[in-house]
Amino acid sequence: MAYKIAFFGAKPYDIASFDKINERYEFDIRYYKGHLNINNVVLTQGVDAVCIFVNDTADAAVIDALVANGVKLLALRCAGFNNVDLNAARGKLPVVRVPAYSPYAVAEYTLALMLSLNRKIHRAYWRTRDGNFSLNGLMGFDMHGKTTGIIGTGKIAKILIHILKGLGMRVLANDLYPDEKFAKEEGITYVSLDELYKESDIISLHCPLTDQTRYLINDDSIAKMKDGVMIINTGRGLLIHTNALIEGLKTKKVSAAGLDVYEEEGDYFYEDKSDKIIDDDVLARLLSFNNVIVTSHQAFFTKEALHNIADTTLRNIKDFEEGRPLVNEVTK
């Protein structure tokens, strides 16, 4: 009998990529549009594994319900796992993830946000469509010779650093576990957060979300930054206290912000809300700034990434089914 998988938050592109890879495995995948939560966890009765994404809920109540329903494995089709209560799952429900699916996709997208904000490409696009070919208000700066501060130097950040060095930028970095060999090879310097804030023209966030990094960017940290700093976040929404960022934008301490994540994104990202009023006042305020670009957690979204996500996720499930070591198991 085919192994049964309940797949939550399914989008057409997910279904296409997973069905293609599943030709090798022949799992019985049941796709659900809704996000996993305590109200629909009943749908997992009788399945062997549950597959979720970043905006699904796997808190203690959901974990207990999954176990009671006979679910044997929770498979994340993403790298982050801050939406899973690992303490509740420990000893009851193994959790696997996709640790890296396309670090190039996210690094390249981060650069795209930097360039778009710096050169005002998003504003120029709308101007010329309206027949306005004026250059007033579109001036940027040469990125060559400027300083970028990178917080967190995992795979994505290292690729981005290599790209930025190719532009002739100076790079400062901060990480709990500095990679001095990499720093020497790329000609970058690990510094304290305070020094990074003080020296950087652009700050890009690539650290994981932990108790220590939650609201890393706040009123105090922004006050330490260079006037006119650009802030980019393609990591996790809760790394930034959004109200503090808005205040920084209002005072012009922050000249621009590129956000592919948002601290309360669960109700909006990946969904079409174009026919509804945005009732999140903080998000609405962010969207009102012409020097802010907000995108819907799409930095990962390339053909290569979707293929790798499906391939790794289904391989993780197959390894579990056949009793092989879970190389991508999440342990705390």
Residue 1's pLDDT is 78
Angle at 15 between CA 326 and CA 81, to 5 degrees: 40
Quick one: how far is CA 51 from the chain centroid? 18
Task: Tell me phi and psi for residue 175, to 5 degrees.
Answer: -155, 145
Residue 240's pLDDT is 98
Same domain, 238 and 268: yes
Same domain, 107 and 72: no
Write down the residue that tokens 């301490």 correspond to: 253
At 46, which amino acid appears?
G
- Is 129 catalytic? The answer is no
Query: Helices (DSSP H) in the chain: which residue ranges?
Result: 12-22, 60-68, 86-89, 103-119, 121-129, 155-166, 180-186, 193-199, 219-223, 242-250, 281-287, 303-321
The one catalytic residue among 35, 77, 241, 297: 297
Mean pLDDT per segment of 10 residues, for the chain of length 332 residues? 94 97 97 96 97 94 97 95 93 95 95 98 97 97 98 97 98 97 98 98 95 96 98 96 98 98 89 91 96 96 96 98 97 78
The one catalytic residue among 77, 263, 265, 315: 265
Same domain, 138 and 25: no
Residue 80's pLDDT is 84
- Is 265 catalytic? The answer is yes
Same domain, 278 and 241: yes
**CATH label of the domain that carries residue 132:** 3.40.50.720
Same domain, 20 and 160: no
17 within some domain: yes
- Is 180 catalytic? The answer is no
pTM for the full predicted model = 0.91
The one catalytic residue among 236, 241, 263, 315: 236
Helix (H, G, I), strand (E, B) or coil at 248: helix
Residue 183's pLDDT is 98
In whole angstroms, give the CA distance from residue 85 to residue 62.
Answer: 9
Same domain, 109 and 97: no
Residue 49's pLDDT is 98
**Exposed e or buried b for every residue in 255-267, given b needs 16+ CB within 10 A?**
bbbbbbbbbebbe
Task: Tell me phi and psi for residue 263, to 5 degrees.
Answer: -65, -25
Domain that holds residue 17: 4-101+302-321
Same domain, 270 and 130: yes
Same domain, 143 and 177: yes
